[in-house]
Chains A and B, each alone.
Chain A
């Protein structure tokens, strides 16, 4: 197990470095840069020469390779530099944005899993074929709903028409309800689809009639036997949907005017604020790696057959 974890940690470090490097190179290749975007503002009336001076002041006239090395070293030490757009330390901006997004994404994910489980098992349990078909159609519907549109629709109906939850002001909990729902729906779709399919597959296996013959009820079989076996593929998908959580939070946070990593990303992209974008990419990659590591570690816990292989 220790060797396995060590190997995984090595892989994770490589993935992080690769994400950093690819992002760094791509950001350098983009036309224009944040300094030009910020200081070409006609109101400031700076000449191209003055903008060049400002740029020299920011990068200290370092060569591309030197800048890369300095930035990489900074990241290794946990210093992400300064946001060019706002002049604040990137760490500070991340620290402000991260808790809100963690709460939003975490709650969104839990709700998504809940929705997925309810749909998959209700479909798996149902004996009426049209109910079953209807339930199985729900994930496809969910996945085709644009997050943006869904957010607006929820706000219009629940906040503006029915007045159930305020969008402006309101308690932290009130501010969370609609965004979490918005985020959960598209995430629930792939998990529900995979889960429903594996429930079907597991139910078709030979041990199910055996357990039934022993007198187990249908719910007992579903929960004690099928669920456990069907959870593995769904878990993998859940790990992968994490990327979608980040993408979804960009849209959700913008629609609901929430602060967070998504909004920060959107603004950084608009201003081509390289230090912030790099930090976000590395952060996202780090969380992605951790989540998938956690999924892999959970596999043997759920399935005894896998323990021998990895142990």
Chain B
């Protein structure tokens, strides 16, 4: 698994609900009605509507870029894992990707106490796992006991999306209550993320290595695992008795498709060629330079936003050169994100206007602060005492202004992006030393600010907490932070129950991170899929993992 797996949707706080919960509100199915479930007319799903009535049957051939790794649910953020687990598991709640609101699913309604330390969920009756056992309060309790507390003996780590968990309490077969040691306003949204998929009691009782294996994952989702050839293919079959889609889903009952064949096809142009030549119906990871090929052939490109911390360069203040804020600010001013996008990417990759994506919660526009200004960059470096050497690279006290960065495997065209930025930096007299990603060296050096002064990464996650996840010294810690003020701001954001105040805090953090020169945001990274014109009804969760529940295939033209 690459050290920086892209995008986990795990989030801790869904504020709207924290606010609503102050009144200990039973949310019930009301939201389904006002949640805005109809896809927009210009979205791919909207087009599908025009194609006629859905038909049952058929097999969807879906080409994946990489084989799945460990399928322990909390590790489902890795896209190849999520692409499978999203089809075979259900969650307590459903996050509407358009509105980002939390809607009922396996839980028909819930109550949250005033300080968000007690959550009571009422479960839908008659839901079963594919092994026939009931999805009841005991099963849900067993799941969250593991996700919330982990299990040392079975080597099961705690899930990123559950905070301050204390214990579960089974009230009756269809009612479960969770207790928290401290307020946990993000827990409701946490129950909707991909890693919170519910598995049978038998699965959740297994040790880590066993829960990693797909054949042991028993969920209640619309598809079940029919066959697996490790590292090559996963075949899913529709569950005939599935009848518990989120109430707001237009489609109910069993899935339209009979089968999904997920085939690992690592070669980029084989995936795209197979799609266009009709050998496959849907593919993940269409490279930016292949998008035109796909579109010109009359196929659909789905560039799905990931709603989190933007793809960018993250500067480490622990590095002996970058400890100087002026140098960091100079690099920020000397980087032309617009040129990167225009040279290498497409309109599916919007130029970053802040640390967070425009679709992220609590986003604030900082495009003015991030404007490209090479003159200012040069001035800042001059003032900081870095003077041009004979080879054009700046020097100070006999030391060259040279910074190391790793090519980031999960980021699209990372090497090309870094090379282009390297050229931009060369103009202001900075040398970017780009190193290829070899997993072992990277795992060791990525935690060393001296060797890896700059990190190229992003995190996708549809919640305010995504910024904490990326920057906090005890989370992903992209900048190897030694900034206590930043940690404090992030913790305040994370514990703030009022949504307006919390968004203001997120805006303050974005401004602070940019002002300190910790981040050089480049673009809002999408997940790009390609689909055949006869494939309809593809939906995505809030962080762009596909759901094939409502997918159907019309006759090929």
Bound pair: A and B?
yes
Task: Give residues in A with beta carbon < 8 Å to B.
Answer: 30-33, 36-38, 40-47, 50, 54, 57, 82, 85-88, 93, 96, 152, 155-156, 159-160, 163, 166-169, 254-259, 263-264, 267, 270-272
Assess whether B24 is interfacial by the CB under 8 Å rule. Answer: no
Which residues of chain A come closer than 8 Å to B78, judged between CB atoms? 43
A271 engages B209 (CB within 8 Å):
no
Interface centre among A30, A47, A86, A257 (most CB of B within 10 A): A257
Q: How far does the Cβ of B536 sit from chain A's closest Cβ, in whole Å?
A: 21
Nearest residue (CB) in B for A272 is B440
B1 engages A38 (CB within 8 Å):
yes
List residues 54-104 of chain B with CB under 8 A from any CB of chain A: 61, 63, 67, 69-70, 74-75, 77-78
Which residues of chain A come closer than 8 Å to B232, judged between CB atoms? 257-259
Q: How far does the Cβ of B438 sit from chain A's closest Cβ, in whole Å?
A: 8
- A43: which of B8, B155, B212, B261 is its contact (CB, 8 Å)? B8
| A38 CA / B69 CA spacing, docked (Å) | 10
User: What are 8 residue pairs bridging A and B, where the CB atoms are less than 8 Å apart in the complex?
Assistant: A43-B8, A85-B1, A87-B70, A87-B209, A163-B277, A257-B264, A267-B67, A272-B439
- A160: which of B209, B277, B445, B476 is its contact (CB, 8 Å)? B277
Q: How far does the Cβ of A310 sit from chain B's closest Cβ, in whole Å?
A: 44
Nearest residue (CB) in A for B266 is A254
A159 engages B157 (CB within 8 Å):
no
Q: How far does the Cβ of A247 sit from chain B's closest Cβ, in whole Å?
A: 17
| A254 CA / B67 CA spacing, docked (Å) | 12
State which of B268-276, B501-509, B515-523 sits at the interface with chain A. Answer: B268-276
- B273: which of A57, A93, A160 is its contact (CB, 8 Å)? A160
Which residues of chain B come closer than 8 Å to A96, judged between CB atoms? 229-230
Q: How far does the Cβ of B257 sit from chain A's closest Cβ, in whole Å?
A: 16
Q: How far does the Cβ of A177 sit from chain B's closest Cβ, in whole Å?
A: 15
B443 engages A40 (CB within 8 Å):
yes
| A151 CA / B63 CA spacing, docked (Å) | 18
Question: 9 additional contacts, CB 8 Å, given A36-B444, A272-B439?
Answer: A36-B440, A40-B3, A43-B5, A45-B160, A85-B1, A87-B70, A155-B273, A167-B270, A258-B232
- A152: which of B213, B270, B277 is its contact (CB, 8 Å)? B270
List residues 141-169 of chain B with CB under 8 A from any CB of chain A: 155, 157-158, 160
Task: Give residues in B with beta carbon < 8 Å to A.
Answer: 1, 3-5, 8, 10, 61, 63, 67, 69-70, 74-75, 77-78, 155, 157-158, 160, 208-210, 212-213, 229-232, 261, 263-267, 269-270, 273-274, 276-277, 279-280, 439-446, 474-477
Interface of A, secondary structure class, is loop
Q: How far does the Cβ of B224 sit from chain A's closest Cβ, in whole Å?
A: 21
- B270: which of A47, A82, A155, A169 is its contact (CB, 8 Å)? A155
Nearest residue (CB) in B for A93 is B230
B158 engages A32 (CB within 8 Å):
no
Nearest residue (CB) in A for B470 is A42
- A32: which of B61, B70, B443, B474 is its contact (CB, 8 Å)? B443
| A156 CA / B160 CA spacing, docked (Å) | 43
Nearest residue (CB) in B for A48 is B447
Which residues of chain A come closer than 8 Å to B74, judged between CB atoms? 43-44
Which residues of chain A come closer than 8 Å to B210, judged between CB atoms? 87
| A301 CA / B165 CA spacing, docked (Å) | 75
Once A37-B3, A159-B279 are accepted as A-B contacts, the answer to whether A257 and B442 lie under 8 Å apart by CB is no
| A57 CA / B440 CA spacing, docked (Å) | 20
B155 engages A54 (CB within 8 Å):
yes
Q: How far does the Cβ of B386 sit from chain A's closest Cβ, in whole Å?
A: 31
A32 engages B440 (CB within 8 Å):
yes
Q: How far does the Cβ of B523 sit from chain A's closest Cβ, in whole Å?
A: 21
Nearest residue (CB) in B for A27 is B440
Q: How far does the Cβ of B191 sit from chain A's closest Cβ, in whole Å?
A: 18
| A163 CA / B261 CA spacing, docked (Å) | 21
- B4: which of A30, A36, A42, A267 is its contact (CB, 8 Å)? A42
| A152 CA / B266 CA spacing, docked (Å) | 12
Which residues of chain A come closer than 8 Å to B157, judged between CB atoms? 44-46, 50
B439 engages A37 (CB within 8 Å):
yes
| A246 CA / B261 CA spacing, docked (Å) | 29
Which residues of chain A come closer than 8 Å to B279, judged between CB atoms? 159, 166-169
| A74 CA / B277 CA spacing, docked (Å) | 48
- B475: which of A42, A88, A169, A255 is its contact (CB, 8 Å)? A42
- B439: which of A54, A86, A270 is its contact (CB, 8 Å)? A270
B475 engages A168 (CB within 8 Å):
no
A168 engages B70 (CB within 8 Å):
no
Which residues of chain B come closer than 8 Å to A159, judged between CB atoms? 273-274, 277, 279
B476 engages A42 (CB within 8 Å):
yes
A169 engages B61 (CB within 8 Å):
yes
Q: How far does the Cβ of B478 sit from chain A's closest Cβ, in whole Å?
A: 9
